[in-house]
Homo-oligomer: A and B are copies of this chain.
Amino acid sequence: MPGTDRSQMALPRFSGIPTFMRVPYCTSIDQLDIVLAGVPFDGGVTARPGARFGPREIRNMSSMTRAIHHVTRFNPFDVCRVGDIGDVPFTDLYHLERSHEDIRRFFEPVFAAGKIPLSAGGDHSITYPIFQAMAPKQPIGMVHIDAHTDTWDNFKGSKFTHGAPFRRAVEAGLLDPKRTIQIGIRGAQNSDEGWRYSLESGMRVVFIEEFEARGVGAIIDEARKVVGDGPTYLSLDVDGLDPVFTPGTGTPEIGGLTTRETLALLRGLDGLNWIGGDVVEVSPPYDPSGNTALVAATLMYEILCLLARRFE
């Protein structure tokens, strides 16, 4: 089996049981190189819920994606084996930290087997237990696209909300702030503690104003320099984009990235030492046109192309 079974992709796009990008559903990870998974959890949000339905709608809309990239002519399914392993089977839904344990346990064998995961959230709190599952020997680098730095501290009784994963990850020695770049940051706050934490810990914070002023090319250069050639994770919160592109999200902030900018940014990150990625914060109940899920599915495909390059 040199590549992926593509029989589903040959169906009309309204057909079939929707897996991510219509790759095979796999109950075992053994035969896979890249593992697609869903994390249907929104117990960490601070405002609007709904991201628990994100994996389902991204899978649904991902039937619209296809194989050969129009810019590079690269086909990720030609070079590696990609499968959908389903969703984290939560045993605990009502205590944030215990739900995170479910996530951690689900991803541990994935990392232990050396597979590369690409996950669909779920709210952004899920990235911290994914990092825990990874348990890297050295803190990893990260390109983080988002409206928020997600380095806040306690909120309404928890330090593990979707506003906090990267503060926790730095504290736990999982993430190297000096090899972290946050892009698209914006929106008023009631406290500046998150912004300060990011800056003081050494993260490179690219507010949207800087992004716009310097242009996507300069920010790509900056990102490549920041993360270098060490192992790097890509975390994309769809609220990094302007809510006109991705209205279906929990904490929208106007004035964000366009899809063209986001696509250019991702493509500019080709060739880095990618070890995994996620697309989070898709909340289908707030997405009447379905465009948020379409954007998320297409960006997952773009990230898959990045991850698959190491198998060429």
A90 touches B260 (CB 8 A): no
Which chain B residues border A243 with CB–CB below 8 Å?
Answer: 291, 294
Which chain B residues border A28 with CB–CB below 8 Å?
Answer: none
A209 contacts which of B71, B95, B188 (Cβ < 8 Å)? B71
Chain B CB count within 10 A is highest, among A44, A60, A251, for A60
Which chain B residues border A71 with CB–CB below 8 Å?
Answer: 207, 209
Which chain B residues border A119 with CB–CB below 8 Å?
Answer: none
Q: How far is the CA of A16 from the CA of B27 in the complex (A)?
A: 12
The segment from A134-142, A222-230, A282-290 that touches chain B is A282-290
Q: How far is the CA of A197 from the CA of B43 in the complex (A)?
A: 29
Which chain B residues border A42 with CB–CB below 8 Å?
Answer: 49
Q: How far is the CA of A60 from the CA of B290 in the complex (A)?
A: 15
Q: A310 on the interface (CB 8 Å rule)?
A: no
Q: A150 on the interface (CB 8 Å rule)?
A: no
Q: How far is the CA of A288 from the CA of B286 in the complex (A)?
A: 9
**Known: A48-B14, A64-B251, A263-B255. Is A94-B185 also a contact (CB below 8 A)?**
no
B212 touches A16 (CB 8 A): no
Q: A312 on the interface (CB 8 Å rule)?
A: no
**Residue interface bits A16-32, CB-to-B below 8 A is 1, else 0:** 11110000010000000
Which chain B residues border A285 with CB–CB below 8 Å?
Answer: 48, 50, 285-286
Which chain B residues border A254 with CB–CB below 8 Å?
Answer: 245, 259, 263, 291, 294-295, 298
Q: A202 on the interface (CB 8 Å rule)?
A: no
A189 touches B52 (CB 8 A): no
Q: A160 on the interface (CB 8 Å rule)?
A: yes
B14 touches A93 (CB 8 A): no
8 Å CB interface, A148-191 against B = 155-158, 160-161, 185-191
Q: A208 on the interface (CB 8 Å rule)?
A: yes
Which chain B residues border A60 with CB–CB below 8 Å?
Answer: 56, 60
A190 touches B66 (CB 8 A): yes
Q: Given known contacts A254-B263, A254-B291, A255-B298, what 5 new A-B pairs fall within 8 Å (CB)? A: A15-B55, A44-B94, A65-B188, A68-B191, A94-B158
Question: What are 17 A-to-B residue pairs whose CB atoms are below 8 Å?
Answer: A9-B190, A11-B89, A13-B47, A15-B90, A17-B19, A43-B43, A43-B94, A64-B252, A66-B187, A70-B185, A70-B207, A94-B157, A95-B158, A98-B157, A242-B260, A252-B294, A254-B263
10 closest A-B pairs by CB: A92-B157, A285-B285, A49-B49, A94-B158, A94-B96, A66-B188, A247-B289, A93-B156, A254-B259, A13-B47
